Amino acid sequence: MTDEFGKALLEIYTKGKTKIKLILRRDNGKSEVRDLKKYLQPYENFEEIQKNALKHAKGHVLDIGVGGGKHSLHLQKQGFKVTGIDNSPNLVKLCKKRGIKDIRLMNLFEMNFGKEKFDTVLLFGNGLSFGRNPSEMKKFLEKIYNLTTKEGIILGDSTNTRKTNRGLLAYKGRKQFKLRGETNGKVGPWFTPFFVSENQLRKIIKETRWKISKMYYNKLGDRFSVVLEKR
């Protein structure tokens, strides 16, 4: 898989190429242009659901799928010890340039930290759905369980596509659909996104060693964040 998304963000940050956009295309012929600068935005522009969840951060924080590094940078500035990981070489390079002290290139599904344990794990940017489907999501949550301390927590968010009428993610009566991205004229492969809904999350969590502690919702009710604690 190419690293065009990471390359585009790196160029925006290092060369000021603010006209670079992300074009998302759906398999129904629709497309949507997104401003990549949002992945670099400061805390003031974070979603309220993320701000609320971040209030629960504690101890050593692991940011899985660090992206442009905005959440890691915020917590680092607040005095937290933060470790960020991503499988994009360009995003890792970008985060180093932005000042994240501990940033590592790592496959998100093959995480290995030896004996190192974390107190808080971030799964933002629809990161609760990193598992790609309910079965893999349960395995992913179990992996995180073993990476965290006794009082470890997860802070994550997701989009409820059955409730949203906004843009490409609107449900439109289909259980599954495909998306692909385009930046700098380079088109990525089709992929089937998995966005865990609140109802799905509650069912999945019951079959794990985690429990829901807090949930926060946006005003439209189609985005939510969650705080997961160990049972």
Instruction: Residue 12: give its domain's CATH number.
Output: 3.40.50.150
Residue 161 in this model has a pLDDT that exceeds 80: no
Name the residue with higher pLDDT: 164 or 149: 149
Q: Lowest-confidence range among 47-51, 111-115, 133-137, 181-185? A: 181-185
Q: What is the C-alpha separation between 28 and 40, in angstroms, rounded?
A: 30
pLDDT tens, 66-118? 999 999 999 999 999 999 999 999 999 999 999 999 999 999 989 999 999 99
pLDDT tens, 43-75? 999 999 999 999 999 999 999 999 999 999 999
* Predicted local distance difference test score (pLDDT) of residue 217: 96
Q: State how many domains the chain has.
A: 1
**Residue corresponding to tokens 């990549």:** 36
Write the CA distances from 33 to 85, 91, 166, integer angstroms: 27, 21, 13
* Predicted local distance difference test score (pLDDT) of residue 1: 43
Name the residue with higher pLDDT: 150 or 184: 150
Neighbouring C-beta atoms of residue 222, cutoff 10 Å = 20
* Predicted local distance difference test score (pLDDT) of residue 170: 62
Mean pLDDT of 1-30: 86
Q: Could you write out the three-class secondary structure of the chain?
A: CCCHHHHHHHHHHHHCCCCCEEEEEECCCCEEEEEHHHHHCCHHHCCHHHHHHHCCCCCEEEEECCCCCHHHHHHHHCCCEEEEEECCHHHHHHHHHHCCCCEEECCCCCCCCCCCCEEEEEECCCHHHCCCCHHHHHHHHHHHHHHEEEEEEEEEEEECCCCCCCHHHCCCCCCCCCEEEEECCEECCCECCCCCCHHHHHHHHHCCCEEEEEEEECCCCCEEEEEEEEC
Mean pLDDT of 123-128: 93
* Predicted local distance difference test score (pLDDT) of residue 82: 98
Range of the domain at 88: 4-230
Evaluate whether 153 touches 120 at the Cβ level (below 8 Å).
Answer: yes
